[in-house]
Structures are given as C-alpha cells and as structure tokens.
Amino acid sequence: MFHTTQEQAEVCPECLRQEFKAAPRMNDAACHELAEEYRQSDRRQAARALRMHEGYESGSLFSWSGKLRFAGGCLLFGLCCLAFMMTGSTPDEVGNSMLDDIGQRLVSVLFCVVSAALVASSTRRRPFIVYPMAVVMLACSWYMPDIWRTHQPASPAAQPTEEESKEEPAADSAAETSKSARALTNADLDVFFQQKTAVPQNAHYAIYIDRQDSRTRGLVRDALTRLLGAEFTRAYTRNDGALYVVSNVPGRVKNISRTLSRLGHITYAAPAEGIYELRFDADKANLVSRYPVEVLSSPMHSSYVAANLSELTCLDPMRVRTAAKNLRDSNVKVLRREIHDALVQVLQDPWAGDFDTYSALAEAMTVYAYESKDAAALEACRRFFRAGLVMKNDIPESVTDYLVREVPDEMVEPIVEFWCENPIVWGNTLSRLGIRAQGALLEKLKNTDSLRQIGTIIRYLRDYGDARAIPVVTPFTEHQDSIIRHSAQETINALQTRQ
C-alpha cells in the first residue's frame, strides 16, 4: 500500500498575475514588428510595380525622369558643339586664347562623357537607340575641336620684282599672287607708311599674321625683331590678326620669305614694298610643346633626344635655352650627329640679342663637336666668341677652351687681353697657349707701365718663354722696383737654362 505525500507550496497570487499580463505584451510587440515588415515589403513592391508600369506602359519609351536625362544630355552636347563652332569661326582672342589644343580636347571629352552618360541612362526599353547615340557622342569628344575649326584657304601672293627674285630665288617664288588678295587696306598700313618715310635709309617691313592670341603675339614680335635684326617691332591688332611693323632693319634681309615661312604660310607678298601677309601655323612655329617636362628632363627616356631637338626649333627662346642646357648637361652618347646638325642649324639664326640663349647653344655645340677639326662647330663658336667681345659679355669657359684647343693661334690676342685684365681668372687658359703667347706678351711688356702687368708677364715668360724673350726682359733687371728686378733676373736665368 502506497501513500502519497502532498508537497507544501506557497504561490504568490500577485506574481502570477504579473506573469500572465507580460505574456500578451510580448506577443503584441512581435506582431507589430512583423506587421511593419509586411508594410515595408508592400511599399517596395508597389514602387517597383509603378516603375515597371511607367517604363512599359503602351506607347511610351521614356519615363519622366528618363525624358529629362535624355533632353539634358542632348542639350549639353549641343551647347558643346555650339561653343566649339563659335570658337572655330571667330578670332583666337575670343575663343582659343584661353586654352591650347590639348586643353580644348579635354574640355570636349568632359562634356561629351557627361552627355553620353545621361543619354545612355535615359531608358532601358530601347537600348539600340540611346546606346549608339552615346557612342557617337563619345567618338566626337576628342575630335570636336578639329571638326568645328575653320581653315581659311590660302590666297595667292604678289609677284615679286625682278630684283627681289634675285635676292630670294627659292622662298619668294612660292608667294605669287595678285595685289587684290591683300587682307589689309592702305588705311590699315598708315602707321607703316609713316615710319617707312621717317627713316628711309633703313629697311622696314609690314607683316600681317592672322589668328593669334596675346601670348603668341609677344613671342612672334620678339622673334621677328631677332630674326630680322630690327631695332624694334610693334604689333597692332587688325581684323582677326595682328600687323607687325618691323622698323629700322639695317639693309634688306635676304630670303625673308624663308624666314617668315617658319611662322606659317605666306598668302600675300610685295617684296618691293616690304609688305607680307601670313596664315599663322602653330605647328610650323612649334609654339606648343609636343613633349611633357618629364621627357625633356630625363636622359634615360627613349624620346629624350627627339624631344629636346624638337624644342630647339621653337620660337620661344626660353624653351630653346632649356633644351640646349639639357643636351649639354646630359652629353648623351646616341644620336650625336643629329644633335650636332640641329645645333649648327639653330646657331645660324641671329642670337646676339639674346646672349643667354646664345651661350647655352654655343656650350652645347662644344660638347657635341666632332673630335677632329669640325668646321661647322668651329665657325659657330667663332661667331659667338666675336659677338661676346663686341658686346663685352662674359664668355663661357668651355667655349674659350674649345677654341684654344682647336685654333690656338687665333686665340692668342684676345686671351692675352683678357689675361692682362684679370690674370687670376684667365691664368689657366693662357697657360694652355704656352709659347704661342710669348710674342703678344713681349709687345705688351714693351708698351706697359703697369707694375702689376710687368710682374705677371715676366713670371709667365719664366715658365713658358724661350731665348727670344731675353733681350726684352734684360732691361728690367735694372728696374727701380726691386721685386721686378729680382723676377727679371730669375726669368733670364731660367730662359738661359732652357737654351
């Protein structure tokens, strides 16, 4: 027989009441969260259905937002085309003066990429319509400046006179037109005629060049002054270009048409009157660098030599000077003949007015001159040295050393003059002449009263002279200055020892 024992348990009625109340509240929160998720899902489904309905409703290719994107893309592309069309048909000072060719292409690419993106995203129902339009916009982006750039046809130039034809047989023969092709009238040339009459003994030229911005005008004005050897050049804005009045050119310039052809294409020429008209060509003038700075300054780059040779043909003296210094400092071992020939060609220009550039070119020439007697390099360095003497400018030591090495006899007189003025600076250069300088120094010794010069010449003869100097030095053994007497006696003893 089993007996059960009932456990004694005490249950709090209030605790049970709270527990039963909390359970419905928890169920209500879960139901509310689940209902909220359902509502969000319903809204997403409704929005998706609305978009699909708008995109595929009967007779409609675009939604309202797609229409706005398509219209915006086409409008942006049209404005870009209109801007370049206006730039291509107006003077450079209105449009092209702010951006170079690469800058214009980058702006065109930027606008066309945005336009193509808007058009391509305007609708998904007809991709075979919007995608080809976007591709066409992208294809036009890089070449749009060329499409809308106007090119004026060349007009014929005036028939040169018989006298001018003899002076300019090769260049002026290509500029044969009638005078009716002139772009300027006599009223436009009033300033030129006034200056021409004021100084009739000098040559004067009126050169009209079209389509130039302010920076280009400054470079062309300086280039004309330098290339033609003029006293000064003034630029006057005329029509869509500039009239350059080149004044006080000493004598008539031979082959002036060949010189002007470096700026563009001659469209009119009247050599007897000194009037020329050109259609400017930035590529021929090489005013826009074709290479980045990294290539120009890196001798290890494969295009280093080609880049600097291209810079040498530029009308901007600063770029020419920089290229010459780059080639001089790098002293590359490849394409040396090409560099030599390019330097010889550039040094044919009159550079005396820009002596810094002249110095850089001459120094580069000494680096790339042939080891044997190089007639072209030697003549170029001679011209530079003579120009430096006339203008009393500092001549680079490398050029002087090159000339002393190649033509020592020619360099005796100028080196002796430099040495007498500054024996400390020019002592090493004079010592390279050795016995060759003795004759010039003996003449100086006979005709000078300067104790400093007498002392330095006697000491030089002691080291490099021969017996022919003894009769000239002997009277100085009785000079009133004891130092000179002592130096003269030492020199005579040394000369007698070397006999």
Chain segment 129-180, per-residue pLDDT in tens:
888 888 888 888 777 777 655 443 333 333 444 434 444 444 444 444 434 4
Cα 127 from chain centre: 47
Q: Is the pLDDT of residue 245 over 60?
A: yes
The pLDDT confidence band at residue 448, using thresholds 50, 70 and 90, is: confident
Q: Classify each residue of 427-441 as buried b or exposed e, where b means 16 or more C-beta atoms within 10 Å of its C-beta.
A: eebbeebeebbbebb
Q: Which residues contact 427 (CB under 8 A, 6 or more apart)?
A: 419
3-state secondary structure of 150: coil
> Angle of helix 438-447 relative to helix 408-421, nearest 10 degrees?
40
pLDDT digits (tens, 9 = 90+) for 364-387: 999 998 766 788 888 988 889 888
Other CB atoms within 10 Å distance of the CB of residue 328: 21
Claim: this prediction has a pTM higher than 0.95: no
Do the beta carbons of residue 430 and residue 416 sit within 8 Å?
yes
Spatial CB neighbours of 254, under 8 Å, sequence gap ≥ 6: 167, 168
Tokens of 7: 């456990």
d(CA 287, CA 214): 13
Which residues lie across from 275 on neighbouring strands? 206, 270
| Residue type present at position 200 | P
- Res 334 pLDDT > 80: yes
pLDDT value for 16: 64
Averaged pLDDT for residues 300-326: 89
Q: Which residues pair with 249 in a beta bridge?
A: 203
